[in-house]
């Protein structure tokens, strides 16, 4: 689509993202959690959000299951449906970051190319890729929603790891091996990384 043809002109805002970040007292950014179903994305995100909230950080958890029940309920799990799912939620994350909010995004987002698109939409400096890594065997064993059981029985089509691919990140910013460490420690590792890299401070510090 050509924006010129649609007669669109981007409006400027009276209050910038930097000013909003300044008011909040911290930067805004998106933590993008990718990994197999049951790898631990939502569990880690919940612990992390609680921790950040206690620190006075403004957060929002964007979660695949929830967005697929709302804004993305018209999408399926085909490669095209998954791409559009990621495109829309990345645009939402970008808007939230523009509003000064820290986004914790939990999406299987199995394809490298779709995660690269998300990074491009959100902006390289605001996108932190977190690989929530658990082996397929461990995920099948955990199976908290009973989805692997159904997928193996052929009751769910295009299920990541069983009948649809998962492309692991090659250079994630943070790599959490949830096979090895507990959920609370996993969230602690992300929190410590954010502190170390000064993400939890105002942008000019």
Question: Is residue 42 close enough to count as binding Mg ion by CB under 5 A?
Answer: yes
Instruction: Give which of Mg ion, ligand ATP, none residue 110 binds (C-beta under 5 to 8 Å, depending on kind).
Output: none
Instruction: Give which of ligand ATP, Mg ion, none residue 43 binds (C-beta under 5 to 8 Å, depending on kind).
Output: ligand ATP
Shortest approach of ligand ATP to residue 186 CB, angstroms?
4
Question: Is residue 186 close enough to count as binding Mg ion by CB under 5 A?
Answer: no
Which CB atom, from 145 or from 198, has the smaller least distance to ligand ATP? 145
Long-range Cβ contacts of 193-201 (<8 Å, 24+ apart): 194/31, 199/26, 199/27, 199/29, 199/128, 200/26, 200/27, 200/52, 200/55, 200/57, 201/26, 201/27
Shortest approach of Mg ion to residue 173 CB, angstroms?
20
In angstroms, rounded to a whole number, what is the distance separating the alpha carbons of residues 87 and 64? 12
* Catalytic positions, written as ranges: 109
Question: Is residue 85 close enough to count as binding Mg ion by CB under 5 A?
Answer: no
In angstroms, rounded to a whole number, what is the distance separating the alpha carbons of residues 111 and 103? 20
Total Cβ atoms within 10 A of residue 136: 16
Question: Is residue 187 close enough to count as binding Mg ion by CB under 5 A?
Answer: no
Question: Is residue 39 close enough to count as binding Mg ion by CB under 5 A?
Answer: no
Kindly list the distances between the CA atom of residue 83 and the CA atoms of 97, 105, 197, in Å, as whole numbers in the listed order: 21, 15, 30
Shortest approach of ligand ATP to residue 134 CB, angstroms?
7
Instruction: Give which of Mg ion, ligand ATP, none residue 37 binds (C-beta under 5 to 8 Å, depending on kind).
Output: ligand ATP
Kindly list the distances between the CA atom of residue 152 and the CA atoms of 79, 104, 119, 164, in Å, as whole numbers in the listed order: 20, 30, 32, 12
Kindly list the distances between the CA atom of residue 25 and the CA atoms of 76, 98, 203, in Å, as whole numbers in the listed order: 39, 14, 8
Shortest approach of Mg ion to residue 114 CB, angstroms?
17
Q: Which residue is nearest to ligand ATP (CB)?
A: 40
Which CB atom, from 42 or from 97, has the smaller least distance to Mg ion? 42
The two three-digit tokens of residue 147, written as one number: 């989805």
Which CB atom, from 42 or from 126, has the smaller least distance to Mg ion? 42
**Chain residues that interact with Mg ion, rule: CB under 5 A:** 41-42
């Amino acid at each position: 689509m050509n924006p010129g043809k649609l007669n669109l002109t981007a409006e400027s805002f009276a209050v910038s993202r930097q000013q909003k970040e300044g008011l909040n007292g911290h930067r805004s950014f998106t933590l993008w959690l990718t990994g197999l179903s049951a790898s631990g994305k939502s569990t880690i995100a919940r612990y992390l959000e609680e921790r950040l909230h206690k620190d006075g950080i403004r957060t929002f958890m964007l979660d695949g299951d929830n967005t697929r029940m709302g804004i993305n309920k018209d999408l399926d799990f085909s490669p095209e449906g998954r791409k559009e799912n990621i495109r829309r939620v990345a645009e939402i994350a970008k808007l939230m970051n523009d509003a000064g909010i820290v986004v914790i995004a939990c999406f299987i987002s199995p394809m490298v190319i779709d995660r690269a698109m998300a990074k491009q939409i959100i902006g390289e400096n605001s996108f932190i890729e977190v690989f929530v890594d658990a082996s397929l065997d461990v995920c099948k064993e955990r199976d908290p929603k009973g989805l692997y059981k159904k997928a193996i029985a052929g009751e769910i089509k295009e299920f990541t790891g069983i009948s649809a691919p998962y492309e692991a990140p090659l250079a994630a910013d943070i790599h959490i091996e949830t096979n090895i460490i507990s959920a609370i420690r996993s969230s602690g590792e992300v929190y410590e990384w954010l502190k170390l890299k000064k993400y939890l401070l105002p942008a000019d510090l």
